[in-house]
Structure 1
Amino acid sequence: MTALALSPTARPQRAVRRLHRPALIVWSGFQLLAVSALLWVHLFRAPAAREDHSASYFVLTDVNNVMNFLGEVLSYVSIPVAVWAGAALIGRELEDGTARLAWTQSITPARWLTAKLTAAALPLAAGSTLLGLVFAWVRTTDQDVLVTNWSWDRVLVPTGPMSVALVLFALAVGTLAGVALGRALPALAAAALTTYTTRYFFGRTWDDIWPVRRYWPVQLSATVLLLLVAALAVAVTFRLLARRTESLS
């Protein structure tokens, strides 16, 4: 059992980052691969498509196929975030007693949860912002060879602030599931299902729902709504954790 042992003056976020360093490495590696793939599309596949549409086509390297695939992947990145938050970040430590040991030794439950959320939210928000900016830049720059529409989910979700809001929503929902259920596997399943359902709703073809709206009204309204729900989930999580620890004392 590995406890989050902290002195009263220690920085808990640093300890959380150290404990979950493998997840940070995976997240950084994913960003590197995604950005590299997007730059490859911009520097090589898009110019090839402009030069000769027929000769440059190959199903695995066609500029539209690659961008569609990358858009799908980036639009669903919130689901593994929710799985990790529910299972590894929160659920497992409650299930095996690591969190309780940390609470009795050096850190209050509220400070423990704050450290978890802060240490995870910063790299997730920064990485999602980077991926969204690069994806949007490549799509805008090379739109002359791309067959896309802004309302398609593989375009709408990863190109704007909605992508960051979805990831933060997934973190909040995973944390809530972990605290509410207290076990890794049930929290994993609940967080994944909730996030997938939310991603499906917010990523569906908005022309069918709000036909008079356009890209930025949809992006901003969806982002605000997702962040409000995420904030509500965090507030409920802190309340549940307080009740949980009160019952143990």
Structure 2
Amino acid sequence: MTALSAAPPAPHRSLSRLHRAALLVWAAFVLLVAGWLLWLHLSEVPAERTCQSFFAYSPMGGHPRTCDYSAFTDANNLFNVLGEVLSYSCVAVAAWAGGALVGRELESGTAKLAWTQSVSPARWLAGKLTAAAVPLAAGGGLAALVFGWVWSSDRKWLVSNWTYDRVFIPRGPLLPALLLLGLAVGALAGIALRRALPALGTAAAATLLTRLYLREAWKPLRGPLHGFWAVHLSATAMVLALAAAAAAGAFCILRHQAR
């Protein structure tokens, strides 16, 4: 033989080329979150602490005075907004996974083309899920690490209780677990519907409803379990089990369709 056939591109390399913009947006979002949290910790919280200490009492009558802040400068308000955004970020991941990562390639026929190049359907899906799960888990883990550190360091000034979803979810591994759940649900919707827009809407709606249901599902854990980490890790295990079930369902449907 004078030449060898070129090997088909690895699934993770294909993902990097096709979805580079999405990966860059995710990286920018994680960096923005981390920067926002550090800014609150290093700038806004110390400024509020200094102001409230300086104006603790009026020199005339001993009456306490307060510092006035707008909705865009109050550290606690900004922290709560960020917590809400992070706690629902799994919905955006599900929409992207259902519409762009899986649904669009099945609708356009790109996936079938990859399957004819010695890449089995199962390997194709496994490559996509793995290549997307790594940056999602790493970015979510970094955001959760910084979020938890800032909340623990400044909890006196950030009055949100840890039982609130905006603190409970992004403070630990439950955040990346929910991102992986969104990825798995999006893949399941994309494979089941095989069309980008229906898969996008279905994945987003299903993940949102699951996210709202889970909020009620892990509330009873606060009875038999005590402390943040006991409840948080139990909720994380619950979410990872759902993500595994959704991913398994996606593989089963794909295998049935590829026959």
TM-score by length of 2: 0.88
Q: Is the 8 A contact 2:122 2:255 kept in 1?
A: yes
Provide the residue aligned with 1:245 in structure 2.
258
After TM superposition, the structure 1 = structure 2 runs for residues 1-249 of structure 1, keeping only pairs within 5 Å, are 7-8=6-7, 10-53=9-52, 54-55=66-67, 57-203=69-215, 210-213=222-225, 214-246=227-259
Whole-Å separation in 2 of the counterparts to 1:177 and 1:142? 41
Deviation at 1:57, TM superposition (A): 2.0
Q: Give unpaired runs (5+ residues) of structure 2.
A: 53-65
Whole-Å separation in 2 of the counterparts to 1:184 and 1:9? 25
Q: Is the 8 A contact 1:31 1:127 kept in 2?
A: yes
Q: Is the 8 A contact 1:173 1:195 kept in 2?
A: yes
Q: 1:206 to 1:111 in 2, by over 3 A?
A: closer
Provide the residue aligned with 1:3 in structure 2.
none
Deviation at 1:10, TM superposition (A): 4.0
Letter in 1 for 2:232: Q
- Greater shift after overlay, 173-182 or 7-16? 7-16
Deviation at 1:226, TM superposition (A): 1.1
1:68-97 deviations in Å (ceiling 9; x for gaps): 001001111101000000000000111111
1:86-143 deviations in Å (ceiling 9; x for gaps): 0000001111111111112342111111110011000000000000000000000111
Letter in 2 for 1:200: L
Whole-Å separation in 2 of the counterparts to 1:40 and 1:140? 15
- The structure whose Rg is larger is 2
Deviation at 1:208, TM superposition (A): 6.6
Output the aligned Cα RMSD: 1.8
Q: 1:103 to 1:207 in 2, by over 3 A?
A: closer
Deviation at 1:61, TM superposition (A): 1.1
Q: Matched residue of 1:145: which SS?
A: coil
Q: Is the 8 A contact 2:221 2:231 kept in 1?
A: no
1:196-220 deviations in Å (ceiling 9; x for gaps): 1122233359667633433112211
Letter in 2 for 1:13: H
Q: Is the 8 A contact 1:152 1:204 kept in 2?
A: no
Count how many residue pairs are aligned between Structure 1 and Structure 2. 241
Deviation at 1:11, TM superposition (A): 2.5
Whole-Å separation in 2 of the counterparts to 1:105 and 1:207? 49
Q: Is the 8 A contact 1:153 1:204 kept in 2?
A: no
Provide the residue aligned with 2:57 in structure 1.
none
